[in-house]
Structure 1
Amino acid sequence: RMFSTYPQTKTYFPHFDLHHGSEQIRGHGKKVVAGALVEAANHIDDIASALSKLSDLHAQKLRVDPVNFKLLGQCFLVVVAIHHPSLLTPEVHASLDKFLCAVGNVLTAKYR
């Protein structure tokens, strides 16, 4: 969803097969969800420490535009809404949005 909605984000993945359903896209998606987001959720009281190395990587080595973390959070919410509409109550939506914003804030903190 991210690459089709925001094609400018493809520039960070020139070595990937960017076609829908590619193994590289699926693999990276798993790293984001099963890796970073689960790590953040498991350390909800200290997301900054849990994602410190990932923040360094994105800010200093990969130099990802910080706005992309907000875009990814929005895409994540849309995907949840499409695939699990009954689960995305207003309360869950607000909580998930707050969590994704917190993760995005941590990942952009080292840009300053």
Structure 2
Amino acid sequence: MEVIKGREFTASRAWGSKLIANMQGITTKLHWTNQPYKWHINAGEEVFVVIDGIVHMHYRENSIEKVAVLEAGDIFFASVGTEHVARPQGEVRVLVVESEGSV
């Protein structure tokens, strides 16, 4: 049993995380960052939930780049093969649910 104050979480580096759970190979991690990630495609599906802050989620559909502006409470679901990159606007905290070892 653990209570986590998501909006208070910080890390010593961009995209630093706290592992909350590993449920049969599916991880749930709380991340803190103030820097963009990198363009990537996950090995499986990914659920990305903004806990605090604003994230510009860039993704490609049919080779066309699109942007979704995500605020606290918003969820981005990346299906298998979705190329995407998260670009925070200042400090953000996000919850990421994905297969263990995913990029």
TM-score (norm 1): 0.24
Normalized per residue, the structure richer in helix is 1
TM-score normalised by L of structure 2: 0.26
Q: Which one has a bigger Cα radius of gyration? A: 1
Structure (1 or 2) with the greater strand fraction: 2
